[in-house]
Chains A and B, each alone.
Chain A
């Protein structure tokens, strides 16, 4: 089949789904709406698979399918086409988006069936996938930005989906406004890149990337990439703009799985990977990215330990894992970042859907203190969640191990990395293992603390099938990227992912060969840390549940600080938001009320007075009006004739 048709179907199928469901948004038949939406994404998935297989069939150095639909903008030197291209990086992304998207749509069909706005929900979800595909496939930064804004909008709509609840609506606005800050920076980055390169086309920018690294802090390229990175911190929830993501859990749980774990929040990492030739040439930006990523990973993981809301724990876990990905791209290991993005999409989507299944079973209860012992009520959910758990804490041979270990190794070994970064990464890995085990223990194991009025039950097949598929992916997903040192030992298993990505990723400059013993040692260390902290957590929360409370009491100030999320929200409110509101109020009072309004009132009064005078001409008698016409006619004719 022709590529352009394939691409058009891939992009338009979710959009058509959105239109259909958007038009019939008042219907409440969840089976039809869910069926339409799932089918739309599934068609896209098939197209993605076809495009992927086409790509595999091409020679290694020509793996690129570029489709131009039409010329979008053409102003002087500024030309942007409505063009899209699939290469090795975006192929992986579209497979994740449409594949995981299909499963989540399927899950949603059952999960949302009580809701009155189910059709509207699916319309938003399809629109989201459409925008995400545009973001991923767009061949210029501007096209990407269209998708970037589109997913932001859908995210806002879906977080505030139950907008009658004031808190949830506020969470939606918080996400939207925080993202605006990042998007403004993204725009600035585009301006800088355009003034530097004279184009916004990603391929052209990548081709024009300099061969010598730019070391100055104020250089054009450094500024541009830095702005783009700030944009990425907004969308991908990094310090300082991460605050919206935990609140975004106000949306329906499948939305958290799709948008706030698997796809949209990874857009920032994707953007950096797609532009890797210019990022790698700006070591200062890379340093900032790595530090921000590592700190975010550590901080979010520590907050995750103290949270009681099942979705909040997962949300902080997502922020932390995104930090890992930024750490990876920050040290130049773009492949590792993308690898972790993929495995994370599998196991985090799995865990969110699993939590959705739990919440569904518990009748919308999200507090893990009121759960426990759910293992025997919901075996499928438990076992799939279990597989997600071993994947995320990095136990070999599950998916998370390979990707996370790759990141840790590169952060140590790469010339852009540093042992300190490795240490922070390993520490957060330990914390990850701790809070995830804590979540497992409090939710599924130990004694049941379920209120007597609630009778948990296993979810129906439509919800468990996606869980099982994702669980399988969480187990095997890592096997495509087995690191060289392990593959070598077990009989030359190639690292498929790195081979696949090799042509589009710039290598890290000055990368030396490493000792295998060192790599084995670090690997052992990280697995050891994770296992030990997982064991401690198990001991704390299952064997002797009174210990955590005591510890928390003994370090109360610190615990409180972490529990209150380091008071970042309060800080933002105090230093930025409240002064801004105060300023706006003053501007409103002095400029709007006392100045602009007054002017308009004066003008209005003048017009009113004039109207009062001319009103007397308006007698309501039609014949008088006709008389005016006749007089006008006479005057006009007189003028003509006298002339």
Chain B
């Protein structure tokens, strides 16, 4: 593949973009302490996956990838709703959203 990396936009570009976004989201999940920010980072990861799905869909000319994205989005919305409801419940109970206070399941 003799082509200019900067001018020829191929599937790989999208996949790399997707993976970088995914890793950023993952870092957020691992490092942030605010429950809500963790939820946001999860949304980032899901979006990253969506990008790769759409890219594959475009480059393989297969519409199934878009369907999958559609499903992922629905699930993500549902997950966000449940996650936030949990966050609200936790906040009501402990007046706190910092995850370091929730270590009740310590073995």
Contacts and interface: CB of A to CB of B under 8 A. Distances in A.
> In the complex they form, do A and B come into direct contact, defined as C-beta atoms under 8 angstroms apart?
yes
Given A622-B99, A623-B99, A616 B107 contact: yes
Contacts of B30: 623, 626-627, 630
Contacts of B5: none
B104 interface: yes
Nearest to A619: B106
Contact of B105 (A614, A618, A623): A618
A448 to B, nearest CB: 76
Interface string A598-635: 00000000000000001111111111001100100000
Interface in B51-107: 99-100, 102-107
Interface residues of B, number: 13
Interface in B13-34: 26, 29-31, 33
A626 B107 contact: no
A621 B105 CA distance: 8
A620 B29 contact: no
Contact of A622 (B26, B31, B102, B107): B102
Given A626-B29, A627-B30, A630-B30, A618 B99 contact: no
Contacts, number: 31
A620 B26 contact: no
B100 A630 contact: no
B25 to A, nearest CB: 11
A617 B26 contact: no
Contact of A618 (B26, B33, B100, B106): B106
Given A626-B30, A627-B30, A620 B103 contact: yes
A289 to B, nearest CB: 70
Nearest to A624: B30
Nearest to B27: A630
Contacts of A620: 102-107
Contact of B100 (A614, A621, A627): A621
Contacts of B104: 620
Nearest to B23: A630
Among B102, B104, B106, residue most surrounded by chain A Cβ atoms (within 10 Å): B106
A614 B107 CA distance: 9
Contacts of B99: 621-623
B107 A615 contact: yes
A623 B29 contact: yes
Interface residues of A, number: 13
Nearest to B104: A620
A619 B100 CA distance: 11
B36 to A, nearest CB: 14
B4 to A, nearest CB: 26
Contacts of B103: 619-621
Nearest to A633: B26
A616 B106 CA distance: 9
A616 B107 CA distance: 7
Contacts of A622: 99, 102
Contacts of A619: 103, 106-107
B104 to A, nearest CB: 6
Nearest to A616: B107
Nearest to A623: B30
Contacts of B106: 618-620
A619 B107 CA distance: 6
A423 to B, nearest CB: 84
Contacts of A623: 29-31, 33, 99
Contacts of A617: 107
Contacts of B102: 620, 622
B30 to A, nearest CB: 5
B50 to A, nearest CB: 19
Contacts of A630: 26, 30
A607 to B, nearest CB: 15
Nearest to B103: A620
Nearest to B33: A623
A640 to B, nearest CB: 15
A621 B29 CA distance: 12
Contacts of B26: 630
Among B33, B104, B107, residue most surrounded by chain A Cβ atoms (within 10 Å): B107
Nearest to B107: A618
Contacts of A618: 105-107
Contacts of A627: 30
A615 B107 CA distance: 5
Contacts of A614: 107
Contacts of B31: 623
A181 B19 CA distance: 73
Contacts of A626: 29-30
Contacts of B100: 621
B43 to A, nearest CB: 15
A620 B30 CA distance: 14
Nearest to B26: A630
Nearest to A621: B103
A191 B100 CA distance: 69
A3 B99 CA distance: 72
Contacts of B29: 623, 626
Nearest to B105: A620
A614 B29 CA distance: 24
Nearest to A615: B107
A615 B106 CA distance: 8
Nearest to A614: B107
Interface of A: 614-623, 626-627, 630
Q: Sorted from nearest, which 8 A-B pairs have the closest CB atoms?
A: A618-B107, A620-B106, A620-B103, A615-B107, A620-B105, A626-B29, A626-B30, A621-B103
8 contacts: A617-B107, A618-B105, A619-B103, A620-B102, A620-B103, A623-B29, A623-B30, A630-B30
Given A620-B103, A620-B104, A623-B29, 5 more contacts: A618-B105, A618-B106, A619-B107, A623-B33, A626-B29
